[in-house]
Amino acid sequence: MSEQVSIAVVGSGYVGLVAAACFAEMGHRVICVDNDEAKVRVLREGGVPIHEEYLPELLSRHRRNLVEFTTDLRSATQDAQAIFIAVGTPQSKTGSADLSYVDAVASEIARSINSYKVIVEKSTVPVYTNEWIRRVIERNGVPRELFDVASNPEFLREGTAVVDFLHADRIVIGAATERAAELLRRIYEPLTSGAYYRGQSPVPGPRSEADPPPILQTSTKAAEIIKHASNAFLATKISFINIVANICEAAGADVEEVARGIGMDTRIGPKFLRAGIGYGGSCFPKDVAAFRHVAEQVGVDFGLLHEVERINEEQKVRFFQKVRSALWTFRGKKIGVLGLAFKGGTDDIRESPALDIVKRLLHEGCIVRAFDPAAEQRSKEVIPESSQMEYVQDPYTAAQDADALLILNDWKDFLEIDFKRLHHTLRYPIIIDGRNLLDPPTMAGMGFTYLSVGRANSVQPLDTIPTYFLPRERENIKRS
């Protein structure tokens, strides 16, 4: 039987809320603190402010009995053995991580320490943050023997955050003292011992009692660098395959075949080799910049990361040019858009390449009709509804009378679309797929002009000869 630990999680964003729900699922007593009163009210009343698979189930399973929500940091942390800091570390003007929230929370925690606590940084932070937190707490008069600061980075992906947490590839614990490491090992014991997976109705995932997640204990600095380096490496993989996709396009090869061939090498691995319109989200863009900044600070030239960022920007421009090459002019053209979030399976639109493309289309005078299964509300806050921008509830309405349909993220739902029906709905049967979701020969077989990234274009006969279409001619052809 695992021992229950009382945990405070400061910050109820993606990382904080998922961690709180999962710690409760592992049997611990959790209090989640946020200074946003409205958010805390929603959480207390049973609401879930983010779209995340299994999160509503876990919260309703444990709310009140194992998870509580509060705005009162002081009383929440006083009773906790471990205090996880999961507040935002946004990008500052210089590209570095803005650590002012972490600093403020550390000072506030210091004022509430009355017995030994382990303060754990879970937010993505640059190397040395651990040292800073320790210094801030000491400066606030807390004796050294009353606390330790540890680092326990999180590797969850939005959309699959709960599964990533409970079925982690690895659990990294950066601790300078055995006392702190021991408490963290105790917290994760239900997972690392396999006990969680043989319990009643565990969240399903790749881990099992026979194959529980390994724990890696490191120095605090190594743990901090592991987090930044992991995200930077994954972003590098994406930019790498995107450049390879551009080579494939020029040479007439298929990037999917190439990615499969590269990925079968176990030293490289098949994941994160999907070419497209580039990476977005609240992590990769920010963390690549922050890690580059860390390198600069310690006198190391990490020019590679500049290149990764440049390629990522360029990829959106290339896609936009592809749309232009299919449509010739933009003003007044109707464009259907599938996908607004930075990837499928989430409502998060931060740094979304899809929204970037939509903004460019609107700027050029297009009329956009967009559908996303979850991100409509959030997108409206950035691009309000207008005579040029309409949000719709299904892909067929998005495609209605459109000059072309763009696929901008990888919701699995898009694979269920009845493309034959869509063909009749579109004004011209042109699909430009920024995420390589569909199969070119199948789309060509259904009569679409189908363009994607790093793969051969499937162009209908009419579209090959005159590079740009004349609407009246096309209507004649459709009738014949």
Q: Which residues bind ligand UGA (CB under 6 A)?
A: 124, 154-158, 231, 234, 238, 272-274, 276, 279-281, 283-284, 287, 342-343
Least separation in angstroms between residue 32's CB and ligand UGA is 18
Q: Which of the following is catalytic: 22, 32, 283, 366? A: 283
Q: Which is nearer to ligand UGA, 156 or 171 (CB)?
A: 156
CA angle 157, 68, 58 (to 5 degrees): 45
**Quick one: 352 or 449, whose CB is closer to ligand UGA?**
352
- Residue type (1 letter), 270: P
Most distant CA atoms of the chain, gap in Å: 85
Q: Measured from the CB of residue 323, what is the shortest distance to ligand UGA in angstroms?
A: 18
Q: What's CA 56's distance to the chain center, in Å?
A: 19
Q: How far is the CB of 453 from ligand UGA (least distance, A)?
A: 10
CB-nearer residue toward ligand UGA: 287 or 356:
287
* Two structure tokens written together for 143: 């004796």
Torsion of CA 114, 120, 123, 128, to 10 degrees: 100
User: Measured from the CB atom, is 31 or 172 closer to ligand UGA?
Assistant: 172
Residue holding tokens 């550390």? 106
What is the layout of strands, in order, in the sheet containing 117-121?
67-70, 29-33, 6-10, 82-85, 117-121, 147-151, 171-174, 215-218
Count the neighbouring beta carbons within 10 Å of the beta carbon of residue 8. Answer: 28
Structure tokens at 440: 């070119």
Q: Tell the smallest beta-carbon distance from residue 394 to ligand UGA (Å).
A: 22
Q: Is 283 in the active site?
A: yes
Cβ 477 to ligand UGA, closest distance in Å?
Answer: 36
- Shortest distance, CB of residue 251 to ligand UGA, whole angstroms? 21
Give 164 or 189: the residue with its C-beta nearer to ligand UGA: 164
Q: Considering the complex, state which of residue 169 and residue 418 has its C-beta at the smaller distance from ligand UGA.
A: 169
Q: Cα separation of 2 and 196, whole Å?
A: 10
C-alpha dihedral over 455, 456, 462, 468, to 10 degrees?
A: 60
Smaller CB distance to ligand UGA: residue 212 or 454? 454
The nearest distance, CB 348 to ligand UGA, in angstroms, is 8
Residue 178's contacts (CB-CB under 8 Å, 6 or more residues apart) are none
β-sheet bridge partners, residue 31: 8, 68
Tell me how far apart the alpha carbons of residues 15 and 156 are, in angstroms, rounded to a whole number: 8
Tell me the CA distances in angstroms from 301 to 28, 236, 239, 304, one per residue in order: 43, 16, 19, 8
Instruction: DSSP letter for 429, please.
Output: -
Give the Cα separation of 258 and 254 in Å (integer): 7
C-alpha distances out from residue 412 to 344, 346, 437, Å = 7, 11, 9
Nearer to ligand UGA, 202 or 339 (CB): 339
Which 8-state DSSP code applies to residue 173?
A: E
Question: How far apart are the C-alpha atoms of 451 and 322, rounded to whole Å?
Answer: 8
CB of 368 to ligand UGA, least distance (A): 20
For residue 278, give the nearest of 335, 322, 343, 229 by alpha carbon: 343
Catalytic residue numbers read 283
